[in-house]
Chain A
Amino acid sequence: MSEEATRDRFGQALLQLAREDKNVVAMDCDLGRSTRSFHITEADESRFLEMGISEQDMISTAAGMAHEGKIVFVNTFAVFATGRCFDQIRQQLSLARLNVKVCGSSAGLTQGPDGATHQSVLDVSLMRSLPNMVVIVPADGPQTEAAVRAAYDHQGPVYLRLSRYDRKNVYEEGYSHDIYKAVELREGKDAAIVVCGPILDHALDAAELLARGGVSAGVINIPVVKPLDRESVIKAAEKYCVLVVVEEHSVYGGLGSAVAEVVAEMKRTDKAIVAREGIKDDFGESGTADDLLNKHELDAEGIAKKVMRNI
């Protein structure tokens, strides 16, 4: 099966939207060929705006365009897209509810060799804290295509977390689920792995490894971290004894926190324990994507180990 990174499908989906709607615009901070936002020029060169290395200016400029009816996809590496211009996103997108889609590329540890300065492991936490912000972390090509469409359809700010990590696709083409709903891809009895992003593929392999060892683990994919599909999380917490939430992100403020918050507030005592498994209050470092996932136990074997430790 062919492999692709979510950024690749993002670029294609953006181009498709630009062909359909002349109000779709893309901006980038000197990374358009990496983030794939540059693809939009195949539809219309005038709707790609190179903003130079000035993320704050990019966000505020996008806000102004959105005020005039444009649907603006702003692009750069996730670490800069969310951190360097957090205040502009807070004041001019989140508070003002303007229709800008912040696309954070090369997110997570799998950014790889550039190291901690360029790896984004706090972005979901930052964006999830903002009122009016939708946060989507697609796992593969088909889900990314649906995510880009959902971002376009939503009137208001969206954070779209994208990756450069090549994985084989999990979903069929023409993603048939509601992007805002959790998908239970595999049922289990002993625990469920709850996951977002491209390590979904590893979570499924982990469940397979566990099955060989006699442990029955389910896999639940939650692509939209905010607004969280609370209903599915509650159902999962009633069905399973343990929810092991794995993400390529800090254990503070990401999907693990979001799930834990919902389960903690459930008014019953017989509910799942939530284990937040990700990057433990740390930064990344240089290394290959696979080595880094291995070190942080976010590859198939690592995720299987995490499940074994929690059941």
Chain B
Amino acid sequence: MSMEEKQLAVLEAKAKEIRFELLQMFGSGKYHHFGGSLSCVEIVTALYFYKMNYSFENRDSPTRDRFIMSKGHSVPTQYVILSMLGFFPPEELRTIKQLGSILQGHPDINKTPGIEAPTGSLGQGLSYANGIALAARLDGNDFNIYVVMGDGELQSGQVWEAAMTTSHYRLNNMRVIIDLNGYQSQGCVEESLAIEPLEEKWRSFGWRAARINGHDISEVCRALDETDNRGEPCVIIAETVKGKGISAIEGTFRGHNYALTEDEYIDACDELAIPDGEQE
């Protein structure tokens, strides 16, 4: 295996592990945002374990890269990764959404170590990221900001206000990755309120746009690398499958906020189980 192949294999293993951990965190009989958390696994994995200059050790460095989960309901994926990075013990994952837990249903910057943006009410993450970029400019700091957005979220007017602000202020260190899983809470995005054509929309707002397969981690990494030193804000439209990995909900809107039955949970454990030979 070449170095690149090895790195890729490690990332793919991470993604598998994260999906399995998500399932264990969610369990059966409890409502969780399965769909969007599972669809963005490769995207968030590539960002934390490949692309970003970010770790527990450099968490206070002013020049660390920033991650904004603008589609705040998918924060469970980020929780799993933050626990892997040492921000809190993995046992905390089992307390998600319980009274007194540090892991709230949506991102809370004051309760959860490693969470840097208050989101949940949709459409606000890119504006917030622009604020980070503007502050960095005033302070003379140089780093990238990666914002993960939902496709349904693009129906929010504020996203487009923010997209204008990014290009107006030439915040060229801004990177948006859209988790285009095709479904929102109540149905198909294009049937609910059409957002396409996305490349044309973003380009007309002054952004560089590319479209990829968001579950092919090598493609995600390559697309992220291609945004380096572009001299313009970049959006990656990552086509994904809502609920990826759990066939009971895969590719449906009903998995958006869903409670697995016991049988579905057992089946999902089999689907997402990591074969003995592949375990680290």
A contacts, CB < 8 Å to B? 25, 46-47, 49, 51-52, 54, 56-57, 59-70, 72, 87-88, 90-92, 95-98
Contact = CB atoms under 8 A, between A and B. Distances in A.
Given A47-B138, A96-B110, A60 B132 contact: no
Contacts of B157: 56
B129 A91 contact: no
B130 interface: yes
A64 B135 contact: yes
A91 B120 CA distance: 8
A72 to B, nearest CB: 8
7 contacts: A52-B168, A57-B158, A59-B127, A60-B128, A60-B131, A64-B130, A70-B138
Contacts, number: 101
A68 B157 CA distance: 25
A55 to B, nearest CB: 9
Interface of B: 108-110, 116-121, 123-125, 127-136, 138-139, 157-158, 161-162, 164-165, 168-169
Main secondary structure of the interface of A (DSSP, over half): helix
B116 A60 contact: no
Given A96-B109, A96-B110, A56 B127 contact: yes
B135 to A, nearest CB: 4
Nearest to A91: B121
Contact of B127 (A25, A60, A87): A60
A92 B134 CA distance: 17
A176 B128 CA distance: 38
Contacts of B158: 54, 56-57, 60, 88
A68 B132 contact: yes
Contact of B118 (A51, A61, A92): A92
Most buried by B among A54, A59, A60, A95: A60
Nearest to B120: A91
A66 B139 CA distance: 13
Contacts of A96: 108-110, 118
